[in-house]
Structure formats: structure tokens, C-alpha cells
Amino acid sequence: MSHPALAQQFTSDRTRAEWHDRSLWFVREKRDRMAHGVPEWELLREHASAIKLHTMSQLPHYLEQFEKNAAARGIIVHWAETADDHNRIVYEILQRHGVRRVVKSKSMLTEECHLNPFLEKRGMEVVDTDLGERIVQLRQEAPSHIVLPAIHIRKEEVGECFHEHLGTEKGASDPNYLTEAARNHLRERFCKADAGITGVNFAIAETGGFVVCTNEGNADLGVSLPKLHIACMGIEKLLPRASDLAVFLRLLARSATGQPITTYSSHFHGPREGCELHVVLVDNGRSSILQSPDFRRSLNCIRCGACMNTCPVYRRSGGHSYETTVPGPIGSILAPVREPEKHSSLPFACTLCGSCTDVCPVKIDLHHQLLAMRGHIDAKHLLPVSKKLSMKLVSAVLSRTWLYNTMGWLARVSLKWAPRFAVYNPLNGWGRQRELPIPPSATFRQMFAQRRAGRKSAESGAAAPVAREGSKSREGSQTGGQA
Amino acid sequence: MKVALFVPCYVDQFYPQVGMSTVAVLEHFGVQVEFPEAQTCCGQPMANSGCMPEARPLAHKFIDVFDGYDYVVAPSGSCVSMVRHHYEEFFEHGDVRSARVRRNTMELSEFLTKVLGVKTIFGSFPHRVGIHQSCHGLRELRLSSSSEVMTGRDDLLKDLLSQLEGISFSKLSRNDECCGFGGTFAVAEEAVSCMMGDDRIADHKAAGTTVLTAGDMSCLMHLDGLIRRQKLNIRVMHFAEILSEAIC
């Protein structure tokens, strides 16, 4: 289904859509307060953007530096060109260690590669240990947000889900009670796990180490008990220096959830004694984005989710309406870059308001990229035929002033004289919930010409009536009609 | 100073009084504007639909029509941002003529404050006004501070209106959220578009807005459409109409 259809479905439950909007706006406001508390906020954004652009421009160099330094620390580094390669590599490592049960902290990369079903099909149990992720996993859904995976689910629904899967009391919806139940359930899984998988927030080229940020400590729990830790990362997660973290860690949590810093920022610098630590570097289309001047900057993304929280469309259409792992503004670039046919409606699920660009901590020019993506969709002949044809027609009309004047007259006259049922017909998408403008009896250019002519004749002594300025001459005025 | 007026196509056809008010305001401050008759549209509807080949002739037409003026003034932040920020790809790199026109194309409040240096306006408008920050004026032309960015900026439109005697402003819970118009978005994503508009209107209603204004008639066309359908008692006016009514 296309975004408009799914969005309409979501808004049809107005109470839920309003609640969803308010929940995310709350996070956006928290982010604003936090950003206001950092006087050098805009400078930090500049720095972060510059560091990312530099890193991307030298990506092969920094990746090799990372590999070398990580290997020196005893970390085993793997390279995966595609999602399939990634899944296969992870599976082979697990298989070699005879792993049956895996605990996994939040990793959008493994979602992107659909690692869970891949491992489950091969007989392994994968438990997502982030609370939100566990909720959507139990409900057999995809996350609807990259930072707040279960933001679309109300606590009463979590209660139902936990009642069914974890045996909590029927009808219970107290967040403390439900969290406690999840905690006990997850503790048991942590203790039994044979391996822990995590994502990576930042990998550091000069040290060969990496950082995982969580609020629940689930990444740390998941990798501290088992003897095997596999960390999966997109190749764009790299930073050149450890000191760069001083910029990014300050931006990440403030942008994501309006916290000064995540509760846990865990630095991994090698395997524990007697254990193995693997890092899988995944490309999966990233190097082709890197080659595209229009969309290269999208690789700056640190997956904070701020663009989702601020997007007025995302907040009212829900993450699932995008049908992508990463939804919202950034997802509406990343998905159609890879699969334009499948995601051609996403760049249009946007009013080009630019709020995403202004919240982005790494200054991705999101709304300009979305506009550019629309051009790419057209160039690939993926626009709906009706849209393309109407734009051709409108362009032909607007290119000829006389035709524009004629068609404008025709539109105003037909709007004036056509009966209401004909104007507000089922095909009139504008008119379903809105009135059309009331057609005035004259255009601006007619009024202006009349006024100038009146003036001239007044100057030459003739007594022609002169329309007075602005609001006094508003014949056929409609905007003030409700006063 | 040779100043041309650019009136967006839909304003020409459906909101002539906004154009006339713009003329009145400019004349009040001593600027005699010309209206080049060949003008039609800046090409934004095509460009925002991704139809660059269809937008191109309109960009060229715009430059042809408005070359030779010191300034081009438009009562629209959206059309001005199209010209200033999105025309580059339609012209050869280093094209002097288009660069000149683009640089000199200005939104009305910008022209009044930055070029004419208008600081005081004598007039009265004893109403509670709710300002809708049109996104392109706000985040493309930076005519005010946007809530996302920590850099403070002057609010050009509000500063102008503040000069009027008796005027008061609504305090909104969301200062600069999009109204949901978005060009063809308004129809293609009708459900979300109307919900966004409803939410803006509810915010204004709660804040006691009696006159809703903005720098772009397109946002107001969408909001006015909802207001009239719901028979709400909010008057919708472009800020040029407020100025012209207050001054005269």
C-alpha cells in the first residue's frame, strides 16, 4: 500500500492519531529544552556535520584503520556487502559456537537485514531485550520508530500482550507493574543466553573500539554473561577519533529523547578473557549512496530519531505507514534510494516544511533531499501517470500568459456557476473537508490595470472612478468573509 | 528604484485583494510598483511534484519577465524561496542574469524591513491576531526564529504588525508547526493534511485568535477552507491586508 492509504487508515482513529502526535511532540519539546541548555548547540551541530562529512569523504581509509586497530585489540572484524552476507556471517559465528539462544539489544541494522527471521528459521531463539523492541517482537510487528519502537502502542495494549505472553494479570496496565514483569522475563533470558548481539552507535577508527548507547543497560547485560558478543554496524557509524565522541554523545541523547546523555554509554575495547568479540561491518547499499552527490549527506545520520519526532506527517501517520525499517524523513530518503519502485510515495509524504532539517543534529538537509528525491522518482518514470500528465498540462498553460488568463477565467467562472454537488464531487480531494476559495469577479491583474487606467485618466482631468487601495477595493473578497 | 511586483498565480486568480493590499502598502511607503503583465507562476507546483522538466520553462519565464528590475517583491515566502533557493539547477552554472534576479527577489515583510527600513507604522488594528508562521518564509528565508534552531532571529512579520495600535497576539502552544498545505500534498495526503490544519486551528482557537494571518496565502487558503467548512468565527487575512486596512 502507498503512504497516503496507510496514513488515512491511521488518522481514521482520530483519538489514537492525536495521542500519537502528542506523545512524540512531548519528546520534541524535551529535545528543545535540552538544546536550549547548551549554549554552543548550533556549533556542536556544525562540528558534527563537518566530522561526518570528512569521515565519509575518507571512508575506506578510516574503515581500514578501524579494522587494523580493532584486530590489534583482539576483535574479529568481518565485512558484509549485503544484508544476506551479514546474516550468513552472524549465523556462521553463532553456529560455530553451538549457540541456541541469543539475546539482542536494539539494532536497526539487524532489523534492516531481517536477521531475526533468518536465525529463527535456522532453529535459534532470538530475544530482543530492549523493552520496546520486546513488545513489538511479542506482537510480531516491526518497530514503528527507531528509538521508541513501541511508541504506537498504548499501555493497555501492552498489558494485553503481556497477559498473553508473560502471564501478567488480565487488564493490568500499570507501567511499573508491566515493566517489572518484562524485567523478570528478560532476566531469565539473559541468564540462559549463549550469545549477545548488539548494534553500534559509534565505532572509533583511531582506537578500534566502539560505543553502544542504551537507557536500559540491556546491551551490557546481554554481552556480559555469554562468552560471545557480536556487534553489527553499518559502515557509516565510524568516527575518526575518540575525542569526536565529545561532540556526538552530547548531541545524540539530547536530540533523541531530550536527555543530557543516555543512561549507559558502554565502550568496548576488546573481548573479555576467554571470550570472543566480533564486529560485522555492513555496506548493504551504503557505498552507492556515498557516490550520489544528492543523497550522500544522508549517511551523516546517527539514528537519533529527532526528524521523526518533529515531522508533522510522521506524528499523524505512524511509523508503519512508511513500510520501512527506518521511517520518517530520513527513511523517506534511505528507502527510495535503494528501492525507488517500492517506496516511490515516501518522498511525497512530506509538506517540505523543513522542520526535520532544523532539528537534525548532524545537519542533514533532509527536506531538500526529499525534494531532490521527487525529481529522481520522476526521472525514473515512477510518478503516477495522472500526476505527470496534469503537471505537463499545467506547465504548458502557465508557460503561455494568454492561456493562463483564459484558463484562470474558465476556472473562476465554472467555480462560480457550477452547482455545489458538481464542484464538491467525490473526486474533489480538496473539498472533502475544505471549502474552495470563493471566486472573485476580477483577477488581481484586472484590478491593477483598472486602477492604473483610472489614475491616468484622473491625471488627465477625466473624472473616472478610482478604486481605493487594498481592502477597500476588495470586490468579491472572500478571505474576510467570516468576520 | 525600479520595483516589480510578483503576484503568485493563485493569488492573482483567487485572492486579488491580497495583491491590491500589497500595492497599497508599498505605495504607502513611497514605492511605485510595476506589474509585468507576462508573469504567471514561479513553477513551484511542478518542481515540488518532482517534475523538473515541466518547472524549467517557468523558471526561465520568470527570469525573462523580471530581469531589469532593482527588486522583485512578492507577498509570498514560498514563491520567493522557490526562486531564490531552487532555481539553480534550471540555469547554467555562473549565469549572471538569473543570479541577479534571484538575489533581488524578496518577500514583502523582508522588503519592507530590510530594504525600505520600515520601523514605525501609523495605523490601528484592535484585534487579537494569531500569526501562522509559513514554513518556507520561516525555514527557507529565515524571516523569524524557528523553534528547532537555537539561533535567535528577528520576527519580521510580527515586528511590523506590532507597530499597529491596539493589536495583540495569540500565544500558541506550537509556535511554528506546519499547517499541512504542502502544495499537491494537500490533496495527495488529504487525511494528514486536514488533520494538521485542524490542529493548527484548534491551537489558534484556544489562544483566542480572532484574525489569523500569515505571509503566505497558500497556507491560509487551506486553513480558511477548513475554517469556512466548520463555520468557525476566525477571520483569515494575509498580513498585507492587515497593514493596508490598518494604514488606510
Q: Tell me: the pLDDT tens digits for A295-351?
A: 999 999 999 999 999 999 999 999 999 999 999 999 999 999 999 999 999 999 999
Q: Do B188 and A429 touch (CB under 8 A)?
A: yes
pLDDT tier at A477, thresholds 50, 70, 90: very low
Structure confidence at residue A466 (pLDDT): 42
Q: Which residues of B touch A366 (CB under 8 A)?
A: none
pLDDT at residue A473 is higher than 80: no
Do residues B86 and B148 both lie within one domain?
Answer: no
What is the least distance, in Å, from the CA of A422 to any CA of chain B? 17
The domain boundary, picked from B90, B115, B140, lies at B115
The tens digit of pLDDT for each residue in A347-391 reads 999 999 999 999 999 999 999 999 999 999 999 999 999 999 999
pTM, entire model: 0.94
The tens digit of pLDDT for each residue in A59-90 reads 999 999 999 999 999 999 999 999 999 999 99
The tens digit of pLDDT for each residue in B79-113 reads 999 999 999 999 999 999 999 999 999 999 999 99
Name the nearest CA neighbour of A91 among A227, A232, A204.
Answer: A232
Do residues B97 and B148 both lie within one domain?
Answer: no
pLDDT tier at A461, thresholds 50, 70, 90: low
CA distances from A335 to A133, A325, A345 (A): 21, 9, 11
The tens digit of pLDDT for each residue in A134-151 reads 999 999 999 999 999 999
Do residues B132 and B242 both lie within one domain?
Answer: yes
Structure confidence at residue B135 (pLDDT): 98
Do residues B35 and B146 both lie within one domain?
Answer: no
Across residues A193-207, what is the average pLDDT?
98
Q: Do A394 and B54 touch (CB under 8 A)?
A: yes
What is the least distance, in Å, from the CA of B114 to any CA of chain A? 23
Q: Do B49 and A446 touch (CB under 8 A)?
A: no
Do residues B106 and B138 both lie within one domain?
Answer: no
Q: Do A377 and B195 touch (CB under 8 A)?
A: no
The pairs formed by A450-454 with CB atoms below 8 angstroms and a separation of 24 or more are A451/B20, A451/B23
Residue in B with minimal Cα distance to A399: B58
Of A383, A476, A477, the CB nearest to B50: A383
A353: its cell numbers: 516544511
Q: Which residues pair with B107 in a beta bridge?
A: B74
B99: its cell numbers: 543570479
Of A11, A445, A483, the CB nearest to B192: A11
- B138 is in which domain, residue-wise? 128-247
Is position B208 within any domain? yes
Mean pLDDT score across all residues of chain A:
94
Structural domains in chain B (count): 2
The tens digit of pLDDT for each residue in B113-165 reads 999 999 999 999 999 999 999 999 999 999 999 999 999 999 999 999 999 99
The tens digit of pLDDT for each residue in B38-47 reads 999 999 999 9
Residue in B with minimal Cα distance to A382: B50
Any A CB within 8 A of B83 CB: no
Is position B133 within any domain? yes
- At residue B238, the 3 state secondary structure works out as strand
Do residues B26 and B98 both lie within one domain?
Answer: yes
Structural contact between residues B223 and B197, judged by C-beta atoms closer than 8 angstroms: yes
The domain boundary, picked from B70, B88, B115, lies at B115
Q: Do A351 and B136 touch (CB under 8 A)?
A: no
Structure confidence at residue A478 (pLDDT): 41
Interface of B with A in 217-246 (CB under 8 A): 220-222, 224-229, 232-238, 240-241, 244-245
Is position B45 within any domain? yes
Do residues B214 and B108 both lie within one domain?
Answer: no
Structure confidence at residue A479 (pLDDT): 40
Is position B120 within any domain? no
Structural contact between residues A231 and A212, judged by C-beta atoms closer than 8 angstroms: yes
Residue A1 has a CB neighbour count (10 Å cut-off) of 11
Most B-contacting residue of A311, A385, A393, A395 (CB-CB within 10 A), to test interface = A395
Any A CB within 8 A of B175 CB: no
The domain boundary, picked from B115, B136, B167, lies at B115
Q: Do B182 and A350 touch (CB under 8 A)?
A: yes
Any A CB within 8 A of B188 CB: yes
Structure confidence at residue A460 (pLDDT): 78
Name the amino acid, one letter, at A237.
K
CB neighbour list of residue A1: distance below 8 Å, 6 or more residues apart? A323
Do residues B132 and B111 both lie within one domain?
Answer: no
Is position B122 within any domain? no
Do residues B38 and B110 both lie within one domain?
Answer: yes
pLDDT at residue A480 is higher than 80: no
Report the sign of the C-alpha dihedral through residues A367, A373, A378, A381, in that order: negative
Structural contact between residues A277 and A74, judged by C-beta atoms closer than 8 angstroms: yes
The tens digit of pLDDT for each residue in A273-300 reads 999 999 999 999 999 999 999 999 999 9
The tens digit of pLDDT for each residue in B10-64 reads 999 999 999 999 999 999 999 999 999 999 999 999 999 999 999 999 999 999 9
Q: Do B151 and A359 touch (CB under 8 A)?
A: no
